[in-house]
Amino acid sequence: MASIEMRNIVKQYGDGYPAVNDVSLDIADGEFMILVGPSGCGKSTLLRMIVGLEDITSGDMVIGGKRVNDLAPRERNLSMVFQNYALYPHMTVFENIAFPLRLSKTPDDEVRRRVNEASDVLELKEHLERKPANLSGGQRQRVAMGRAIVRQAEAFLFDEPLSNLDAKLRGQMRTEISRLQRRLGITTVYVTHDQTEAMTLGDRVCVLRKGKIQQVASPRELYEQPVNLFVAGFIGSPPMNFLPATLEGTTLQTPFGAIALDEQRAAAVRGRELLLVGIRPEYFEDASLVDEVKRPVGSVFRARVDVTEWLGDSQYAYIPYEAPEAITAQLRDLSRELDSEELRTQAIVSIDSTSRIREGRDAEFWLDSRKIHVFDPQTGENLTRDAEAGARLTQMATEDRVEQVEHAQATGQTVGSSMLSGPSGSSGTSGTSGPSGAHRSGAA
């Protein structure tokens, strides 16, 4: 296991296009880092540079304290699991997992010991003699991970490993990978453009846009304190609503009425002709269902609902609004870039499932004005971001991770404490413990 440090990493392909543009990112030993962003933003390119499958144009890639720019993939001892993890159909699960060890001519009893330990962690013990064709998709995924585990790699790298599974299995595998990563305590970098995966799996999430880092933070910080319009629109589903607004005194005038700001926030947004107010769907409520204590911290407005969708545990109402052409055009551009259809001049608000608000009728809504953000429409900058509050959220996530890894180690669940250190006393963190010649990728 090792930390991964990137210093000003640039990747220019042959045609000069900077697919990755000055990325600096530190991934701690044992951390689960997510790389997320729209198609073409450079996620796979960055991952492939970590592994060594792609040359680095400039910058330093440091793994476990050692600069690896000029090391071949097999000398880096990382384990990559691709979207299409190819298992050998004629081999048993046991032999599929043992494959890299066979390549490196590891003695039989050592192979047996390591495969058994890995299959224990992966709950594959009962399936070791079966063939991959007879396994479920999730079990196959675990076999591919088993192959990565027995190699005693310094880190796991995943490139959209779940993207070709159906939604239900994807959900199961997500939990599986998360649990495993904690138990193994292995540094993990995981590429996805699925924002649910990004929010649920990572200790921290790195949001990329056109080869540049936008924000690196815990999922909660990204959600509650996004740095800009891009991150705010990308993280969260349904996405944040963006309303045009102007400031009068300390009050924002929006299509959904006046929203009061405190003096500090008003000062931060003052001096701009037009603003964009970001309000997440769940900051709204059916005004008739908001209790008297809560009511004064928000504002109430009337609007006509276009469509309602009842989902059982909640309900969405769609409210169209008018916006100046400049704003409409900008929201359209943003939607296109985010691969989303939903950022239109229509707010999606989440209301209680018992609400009797129905389409075609005027209704009263309440919105929690404490939680809104105000953006500069020109630069996209979040003008009301509270950096300290954000840092606290990420600090909390870091503490949680340390505690979880310690807990996993204390209960003897990690492979790190038993298997990776091995009976021969070789240290799993030394950077030289991998079986030589066994560094084929997980998709081998």
Ligand X SMILES: Nc1ncnc2c1ncn2[C@@H]1O[C@H](COP(=O)(O)OP(=O)(O)OP(=O)(O)O)[C@@H](O)[C@H]1O
Binding site for Mg ion (CB under 5 A): 44
Interface with ligand X by CB under 6 A: which residues?
A: 13, 15, 17, 19, 37, 39-45, 193
Nearer to ligand X, 57 or 172 (CB): 57
For the CB of residue 20, give the shortest distance to ligand X in the complex, in Å: 7
Nearer to ligand X, 27 or 374 (CB): 27
Sheet of 4-12, strand order: 18-27, 4-12, 58-63, 66-67
Q: 193 touches which of Mg ion, ligand X, none (CB within 5 to 8 A by kind)?
A: ligand X
Nearer to Mg ion, 44 or 315 (CB): 44
Q: 19 touches which of Mg ion, ligand X, none (CB within 5 to 8 A by kind)?
A: ligand X
Residue 241, classified by CB atoms within 10 Å of its CB into exposed (0-12), middle (13-18) or buried (19+), is: buried
Q: 59 touches which of Mg ion, ligand X, none (CB within 5 to 8 A by kind)?
A: none
Q: 411 touches which of Mg ion, ligand X, none (CB within 5 to 8 A by kind)?
A: none
For the CB of residue 164, give the shortest distance to ligand X in the complex, in Å: 13
Nearer to ligand X, 17 or 310 (CB): 17
For the CB of residue 165, give the shortest distance to Mg ion in the complex, in Å: 16
For the CB of residue 22, give the shortest distance to Mg ion in the complex, in Å: 19
Residue type for position 257: G
Q: 50 touches which of ligand X, Mg ion, none (CB within 5 to 8 A by kind)?
A: none
For the CB of residue 381, give the shortest distance to ligand X in the complex, in Å: 24
For the CB of residue 43, give the shortest distance to Mg ion in the complex, in Å: 5
Strands 32-36 and 204-209: parallel
Q: 161 touches which of Mg ion, ligand X, none (CB within 5 to 8 A by kind)?
A: none
Q: How many angstroms from the chain centroid is the CA of residue 213? A: 13
For the CB of residue 10, give the shortest distance to ligand X in the complex, in Å: 12
Nearer to ligand X, 17 or 88 (CB): 17
Nearer to ligand X, 38 or 390 (CB): 38
For the CB of residue 166, give the shortest distance to ligand X in the complex, in Å: 19
Please give the backbone phi and psi of residue 15, each rounded to the nearest 5 degrees, phi first: -80, 10
Q: 151 touches which of Mg ion, ligand X, none (CB within 5 to 8 A by kind)?
A: none
Nearer to ligand X, 39 or 424 (CB): 39
Closest residue to Mg ion, judged by C-beta, is 44
Q: 88 touches which of ligand X, Mg ion, none (CB within 5 to 8 A by kind)?
A: none
**Are 187 and 31 a contacting pair, CB within 8 Å?**
yes
For the CB of residue 44, give the shortest distance to Mg ion in the complex, in Å: 3
Nearer to ligand X, 44 or 77 (CB): 44
Nearer to Mg ion, 44 or 382 (CB): 44
Nearer to ligand X, 278 or 442 (CB): 442
Instruction: Give the whole-angstrom CA distance, residue 353 versus residue 309.
Output: 10
CB neighbours of 402 closer than 8 A, spacing ≥ 6? Answer: none
For the CB of residue 42, give the shortest distance to ligand X in the complex, in Å: 4
